[in-house]
Structure 1
Amino acid sequence: MMKYPLQFLVALSLVDRRQDDLEDEFGDLPEKIQKAKEKYQELDSYVKETQKVFEEVRNFIVKSKKALEELKAREEKLSKQQFLVRNNKEFDAITREIEFARSEYNRISQELQQTNIKEENLVNVLEQQKKEAEDVLKELQELEHDYELIATNQNEELNEIRAAREKIIEKLDKHTLEIYQRIRNTHKDAIVKVKKNSCTGCFSHIPPQRIVEIRNNLDRLYTCENCGRILYPEDLEIDSEYIL
């Protein structure tokens, strides 16, 4: 029966390493998914921006066509009025209005012609942007599908790991766990055995006297002076109920 924190730490390390192995099965999928998400968000923002400009252009075209119709109608109306004037002053005033209407008509017509070209270009740009966004979205969905397949296959074992971990953690105090976690932040294998007078984490030599202390004081934690990993004797026994 295990009674020393060191034994439970070794058991915890074995459980955590198994969880690490499962996470390794995902490979670089998480990074690829994140990059694909960021790329899609970027492309989608381009699409929305182009759509906004396209809508503004369409609104301008609609308003411009309406303005041209109104100017044309006004010119025709004014032209008819010219035949009804009674003096040169009225005739000249109407003539100026007609010239202004024609000038505005020509100006808007030129702007409309340029805007129509811009609209055609925007249609092509928008089509290309949508295609690029759709391609990246498809890639993202495929990556997420692959991720879900792995996660589904691991689900049962992960539940066993979580249960085993909780069972072990109940046997350890907060301070010991903090030491373990702090080391694990640097080394995934936070606790390693002493084998052939060496730390199996960094293969540094462990003095014989230090090895004797580790074996005889299982209620204490000893760390490698070189890498900082927690050390345990090779013959340390771990109950099978805590091993997956």
Structure 2
Amino acid sequence: MAKKAETVEEKLRALYDLQLIDSRIDEIRNMRGELPLEVEDLKDEVAGLTTRLEKLNNEVQTVDEQIKTKKNEIDSHKESIKKYTDQQKDVRNNREFNSLTKEIEYQTLEIELAEKHIKEFKANLEYKKNLISQTSEKLDLKSNHLKHKENELNGILTETEREEKALVIKSEEFSAIIEDRLLNAYTRIRNGVKNRLAVVSIERGASAGSFFTIPPQVQVEIAGRKKIMTDEHSGRILVDAALAAEEREKIDTIIKNLK
């Protein structure tokens, strides 16, 4: 088990080292940004469009079958008309003739109704084929966009995944040597600020990223490294510039060796 930091200076160095490592992890994850979510959303869209396309193609097949059925019905009605017309030539009275005439009229109406249905089916078929064309075009665009985004994400992952995993281990190692009270404070401050900087150095008389000047006497105390000092405006833990420079050089070397 790693030895806990004992002196204030050791604690400050460990905290600043942890901040530098965690900031690099943040940087790597920010490089990915919204890409993983974007890729997942695109996958969902592609899956949805694929399902829609399959459904439309099945519907087109059904409509095609309906048209064939109606055409077969028309052929059947035409055969009936021919049969009844032929029978009219051999009728013995007007009653039989009129009965056959009604049958012919009925078959004719059935043909007209079937033709009307075919016309409606064809209009529906044309509409669905247009939808298929539009959906296919959209699917191609989304699929190409997904492929591009997956390649982009995979490129970033390939470039940074090994480094990130190693940095996470280093972060855990440095966390292990910091006492729980300080580590909890570090985590609380880090989670409470937008840039996730819980430990900052003094730059030009102010804490890094702040416009509020730190009084000279306080700067001397911070440089003395005898107690943990925080910025009264932001609550961040403060370290002196010399310590920060030394630790940045050390952590930069560690990070370079991880790549």
TM-score normalized by structure 2? Answer: 0.73
The aligned residue for residue 227 of structure 1 is 234
Residue 72 of structure 2: which of 62, 66, 69 is its match? Answer: 66
Contact 1:198 1:206 in 2 (8 A): yes
Contact 1:187 1:229 in 2 (8 A): no
Tell me whether 1:135 sits opposite 2:151 in the alignment.
Answer: no
Contact 1:201 1:227 in 2 (8 A): no
Structure with the higher helix share, 1 or 2: 2
1:201-238: CA deviation from partner (whole Å, max 9, x where unpaired): 22322234544555567664x44333343322334475
1:71-109: CA deviation from partner (whole Å, max 9, x where unpaired): 233333444444565654444344323212211211211
Contact 2:15 2:199 in 1 (8 A): yes
The aligned residue for residue 201 of structure 2 is 193
Residue 106 of structure 2: which of 75, 97, 100 is its match? Answer: 100
Contact 2:201 2:207 in 1 (8 A): yes
Aligned Cα root-mean-square deviation (Å): 3.5
The Cα of 1:166 is off from its aligned counterpart by 1.8
1:159-207: CA deviation from partner (whole Å, max 9, x where unpaired): 3212211212222455544443343332232321123431112232223
1:28-56: CA deviation from partner (whole Å, max 9, x where unpaired): 75576466446545654653554354344
Over the matched positions of the two proteins, sequence identity in percent amounts to: 27
Paired residue total: 243
Q: Per the alignment, do residues 134 and 197 of structure 1 end up closer, same or farther by CA in structure 2, a change over 3 Å counting?
A: same
Query: Which residues in structure 2 correspond to 1:1-244 (within 5 Å)?
Result: 2-3=5-6, 4-26=10-32, 29-30=35-36, 33=39, 36-37=42-43, 40=46, 43-44=49-50, 47-48=53-54, 50-83=56-89, 87-172=93-178, 176-185=182-191, 186-211=194-219, 214=222, 220=228, 222-236=229-243, 238=247, 240=250, 243-244=254-255
Contact 1:75 1:98 in 2 (8 A): yes
Letter in 1 for 2:236: R
Q: Which runs of 5+ in 1 are unaligned?
A: none
The Cα of 1:137 is off from its aligned counterpart by 0.5
1:84-141: CA deviation from partner (whole Å, max 9, x where unpaired): 6565444434432321221121121133134324424433442242123112211210
